[in-house]
Structure 1
Amino acid sequence: MISHYIKSLKNQFNSDIIMNWNNIHKSILVLVLAFGIQLLWIFWKLWIINTPSIWPWVNLPLIHTQIYINSISAFFFIGLVCICYKFQKKHWAHLFFPHLVISIFTLMFISDGFLVGIYSPATIFAFVSISGIGIILFNRKFIYIHLFNAFSIAIILMYCTYKNLVPYAPIFSQTLLEHDPQKNLFWVLSMAYFIIPILIACLVLCEVLLSQWRHRESLIQILSQTDPLTNLYNRRSFNEKLSLIQNTRTQYAIILIDIDHFKMINDDFGHHIGDEALKAVAQLLSTLVRSSDIVARYGGEEFIIAMPETSLTIAREVAERCRLAIQNQTLETLTQKKINLTASFGVATSEDETQINKIIHHADQALYRAKAYGRNQVHFHGEINHG
């Protein structure tokens, strides 16, 4: 049960949730976070109201007023979520709502930061964390505009508090602020109360986004290495892996395969059937080789197999096994007509040559002879004739 839950959670993390969301859905996420912040404020203030021993450290009339404001704000954010959801398919909504939501969230954040202290640990930490998440979620230029506005307002408030034009951290009492708040347990716990949920939310979002990016990178890497039709290695990745085999200085074999009369299949039955033939041969080759062998689509109707630590005898056996399997493979066309596939094989080993290009060239020469002698045959480098 636990392993199933962990696997399901991992699949969710690796899926395209959040990263592929449009701006409306991301705006809804921001509104949900804003709603959660309002709940944090409400719980904190209710705790204060029900704990008389804390009253000397706070501005109690402001606490009572703020509970109503936070409650109204929470319902307001839920209402915006419903509006965003209702108009999510409208083009204008994708242009308008993200700016509206981010602007409201910025004003809420500045207001909350002013209440607890514009340069308090909670405000600074929240500013850095939320800014980072915003830049990850939305277009950077879009976020930078709102960050500039928020930073400008914060600078103005800092200046005003420095000049005593506005009170600093008005939600706390002057008694607390004038007597080293860092040494006051209530103040310290309040900072931690606001920091920890933001930290957890940011860490979860970052982990989800990073997991999706890693998953995408791995998919991109796989796509760059594979042929999209057959899911085999492409020519470039095959050459890279063959170079690694060459560096081990062990004997290896190369098998070149060409589907017989492939152009005729395309011309007579269409490229769709030709694609089906390529996929069928690719599937057969993948299942018939060893786990250490490398199978790739080498171009058009050609395939190639690299077999590390392999003698000519073993390569001959594998090639013949693959030839027979392809010979027994049939395809059904749209007109219910059956097509019998065959392929020609050319085999060469590194026993007589050290250069990769020459070994592949030897295999290609053997393949040419197999086709010249009637196709559906396996030929080896060094043979005079097939017999």
Structure 2
Amino acid sequence: MIFPDPKMNKHLEMLQHQFNSNIIMNWSNVHKSILMLFLTLGVHFVWIAWKFLIILEPRLWQWVNLPLLKTQVYLNIYTALLVSCLIIFCYFFQKKPWANNILPHFIIGFFVNLMLADGFSVGLYSPATIFAFVCISGLGLILFSRKFFYAQLSFALIVYFTLMYCTYHKLIPYAPLFSEHLLNHQPQYNLFWIVSMLYFIIPIFLTCFILCEILLSQWRHREALIKCLSQTDPLTNLYNRRFFNERLNVIQKNQSHYSIILMDIDHFKSINDQYGHHFGDEVLQRVAHLLSTQIRKTDIVARYGGEEFIIALPDTSLTVAQDIAERCRLIIQNEILETLEHKNIQFTASFGVAISIYETNISKVIHLADQALYHAKQRGRNQVQLYNERIKEFN
């Protein structure tokens, strides 16, 4: 979205950059634990709101264990205060070396026990409990290392199956928060029970959906950055040699012929020796920019190694390729760079051009362009030379 106010656009760009770069997966375990505590706090606010609604509506008292519900309201409030204190504690000690090793185990164990207690109170087989267990397990697997997560999951499963065993053998009540009248009369047909399940499920679903969407978006952004880094030369931001060869393979499969321009900066070693590698890098960057301004959208330019650059021109005759190379030569020749000593420096480049036909070996075409480049250097540099012989397949 583009706004007329440039400041607003800049602010949105900064937010987008922060969103893409501040990947949750790269957070420390303490910061991830703080995120889990905020989720715990949100769950307790949901619980408190649901229980207050029931207390204020006498018509609903018949469906719940009212004394237990009132007791749990105070318990939820105290727990929310405890969670808030834990958030402050974690934030205060987030940079301590011991915090990343100790606090996450305690916080996640605390979170798991609270979720198990809540699940038990509304029923271990209820849709809300099962849905929460699945979503939280998936989120935990994404956020934390497998070794750390599986230890917590194993503990949770042991407790969960123990509670199932105890409720099955009637050692403890099933879903003590609801009344026996509700549980004994097909709760799936009771509107209060259905709405309560949806009330618990929807916030969990939305929270997990938003977090997963953020993580997936940031993963895609990171993958795009990795892909870009694997394809480009870090100094010049042109394609690197490996990716250029991949693109050239695609061109050869889809085109009847293509031209190759191989370019080398003249006396580049002398430039490095005389003015330093920093200035040499500046020359390379400037040449890369100049070449990019002279090629067509269908052409591909890459840094081929050292001071060598290469251009692939799909479906282009030798004459047209020569014209493009000549334009590149002239614009480089006329470029002026200022050294750190405020001295204006001009430099030149030599070009070799070769053409391919369908199914010609790629390395052969590049080799012929390299031979043409060699002739350009032998004849005085700062010129374009063509390789005019017909190219044949290697035997």
Q: Distance in 2 between matches of 1:353 and 1:101?
A: 63
Q: Distance in 1 between matches of 2:357 and 2:68?
A: 88
1:352 is displaced (CA, Å) by 10
- Structure 1 range deviating more: 268-277 or 360-369: 268-277
Q: TM-score, normalised by structure 2?
A: 0.93
Match of 1:183 in 2: 189
Match of 2:355 in 1: 349
Match of 2:371 in 1: 365
Deviations 1:108-143 (A, max 9, x none): 001101100122111111011001001101111101
Indicate conservation of the 8 Å contact 2:256/2:357, yes or no.
no
Deviations 1:51-99 (A, max 9, x none): 1111011000111111111011111111111111111111111111111
Q: Distance in 1 between matches of 2:189 and 2:15?
A: 42
Please state whether the residue corresponding to 2:382 is helix, strand or coil: coil
Match of 1:141 in 2: 147
Indicate conservation of the 8 Å contact 1:161/1:167, yes or no.
yes
Whether 1:255 and 2:261 are equivalent positions in the alignment is yes
- Structure 1 range deviating more: 251-260 or 8-17: 8-17
| Equivalent in 299, 304, 322 of residue 298 of structure 1 | 304
Whether 1:195 and 2:193 are equivalent positions in the alignment is no
| Equivalent in 218, 228, 235 of residue 241 of structure 2 | 235
Indicate conservation of the 8 Å contact 1:235/1:297, yes or no.
yes
Deviations 1:235-283 (A, max 9, x none): 1111111111111242211100001111111222222111111111111
Percent identical among aligned pairs is: 62
Q: Distance in 2 between matches of 1:7 and 1:301?
A: 35
| Equivalent in 77, 88, 92 of residue 71 of structure 1 | 77
Deviations 1:124-177 (A, max 9, x none): 110110010011011111011011111101111110001111111000011111
Q: Which runs of 5+ in 2 are unaligned?
A: 4-8, 390-395
Q: How does 1:34-113 map to 2 (within 5 A)?
A: 34-113=40-119
Please state whether the residue corresponding to 1:257 is helix, strand or coil: strand
Sort the Cα spacing of 1:250 and 1:6 in 2 relative to 1 into closer, same or farther, 3 A.
farther
Sort the Cα spacing of 1:11 and 1:271 in 2 relative to 1 into closer, same or farther, 3 A.
closer
Please state whether the residue corresponding to 1:362 is helix, strand or coil: helix
1:331 is displaced (CA, Å) by 2.4
Q: Distance in 2 between matches of 1:278 and 1:291?
A: 21
1:45 is displaced (CA, Å) by 0.2
Q: Which amino acid is 2:127 matched to?
A: P
Indicate conservation of the 8 Å contact 2:256/2:358, yes or no.
no
Q: Distance in 1 between matches of 2:14 and 2:59?
A: 47
Q: Distance in 1 between matches of 2:349 and 2:94?
A: 54
Please state whether the residue corresponding to 1:91 is helix, strand or coil: coil
Whether 1:270 and 2:276 are equivalent positions in the alignment is yes
Q: Which amino acid is 1:19 matched to?
A: M
Q: Which amino acid is 1:45 matched to?
A: K
Indicate conservation of the 8 Å contact 1:59/1:172, yes or no.
yes
Match of 1:309 in 2: 315
Match of 1:161 in 2: 167
Q: Distance in 2 between matches of 1:150 and 1:2?
A: 48
Indicate conservation of the 8 Å contact 1:343/1:375, yes or no.
yes
Q: Distance in 1 between matches of 2:209 and 2:293?
A: 43
Q: Distance in 2 between matches of 1:51 and 1:6?
A: 45
Indicate conservation of the 8 Å contact 1:19/1:212, yes or no.
no
Q: Distance in 2 between matches of 1:353 and 1:112?
A: 68
Q: Distance in 2 between matches of 1:358 and 1:348?
A: 10
Match of 1:329 in 2: 335
Q: Which amino acid is 2:330 matched to?
A: L
Q: Which runs of 5+ in 1 are unaligned?
A: none
| Equivalent in 214, 219, 238 of residue 213 of structure 1 | 219
Q: TM-score, normalised by structure 1?
A: 0.95
1:9 is displaced (CA, Å) by 7.3
Match of 2:392 in 1: none
Q: Distance in 1 between matches of 2:14 and 2:382?
A: 47
Please state whether the residue corresponding to 2:263 is helix, strand or coil: strand
Q: Distance in 1 between matches of 2:52 and 2:256?
A: 75
Indicate conservation of the 8 Å contact 2:44/2:76, yes or no.
yes
Please state whether the residue corresponding to 2:25 is helix, strand or coil: coil
- Structure 1 range deviating more: 9-18 or 318-327: 9-18
Q: Which amino acid is 2:31 matched to?
A: H
Match of 2:393 in 1: none
Q: Distance in 1 between matches of 2:218 and 2:264?
A: 39
Please state whether the residue corresponding to 1:199 is helix, strand or coil: helix
Indicate conservation of the 8 Å contact 1:353/1:359, yes or no.
no
Deviations 1:269-304 (A, max 9, x none): 222111111111111101111111000111111000
Indicate conservation of the 8 Å contact 1:253/1:311, yes or no.
yes
Q: Distance in 2 between matches of 1:311 and 1:297?
A: 23
Deviations 1:214-234 (A, max 9, x none): 111111111111111111111
Sort the Cα spacing of 1:74 and 1:212 in 2 relative to 1 into closer, same or farther, 3 A.
same
